[in-house]
Amino acid sequence: MNYTSSSPVELATFAGGCFWCMVKPFDQLPGIMKVVSGYSGGHTEHPTYQEVKTQTTGHYEVVQITYDPSLFSYAQLLELYWPQIDPTDDGGQFQDRGPSYRAAIFYHTAEQRELAEASRTAIAASGRFGDQPIVTEILPAAPFYPAEDYHQDYYKKSPDHYKEDRLQSGRDEFIDQHWKS
């Protein structure tokens, strides 16, 4: 994407299970400068994928989005984020289980926190998930560590494996059932 705006940029950080599946929905939209897969929220500095997948570092798999809020607002990012996840699942997301695959919103500013909390409240009030509680956490931004190169833009680098993994995960079926209406 050729980005030419002179507006200041901001960061948004979202956890939604496997970061491979969280890049494509945000990638290549107006005002989105880059989407980087990585790790956040843990206690180990510069963790590797091998360390994070042991579920002992405390990290979430996340995507960190650099965006121009004059072209794509944080509220729009939240509207795009929620339908990518099961906000009632605190044990991971879809076929990916364990703490590193939990859903969470990491806010970078007080405004992001307010918007994230309001959006979570609205989803809970919508009745979309019946009486199941919305358990997606809203947390202060923590140090972000980019994942290894082979994880970046995985849907572009390995499109067949990405499609197969996404199909097997049950993510798209869940999205169709709970978010398409």
Cα separation values, 179 from 46, 70, 81, 123, Å: 35, 27, 11, 11
Residue 18 annotated as catalytic: yes
| Pairing state between β 103-107 and 96-97 | unpaired
Please tell me what DSSP assigns to residue 136: -
Q: Which helix (H) or strand (E) holds 51?
A: helix 49-52
H or E stretch covering 153: none
**DSSP 8-class letter at 152:** T
Give the active site residue among 12, 15, 17, 18: 18
Catalytic residue positions? 18
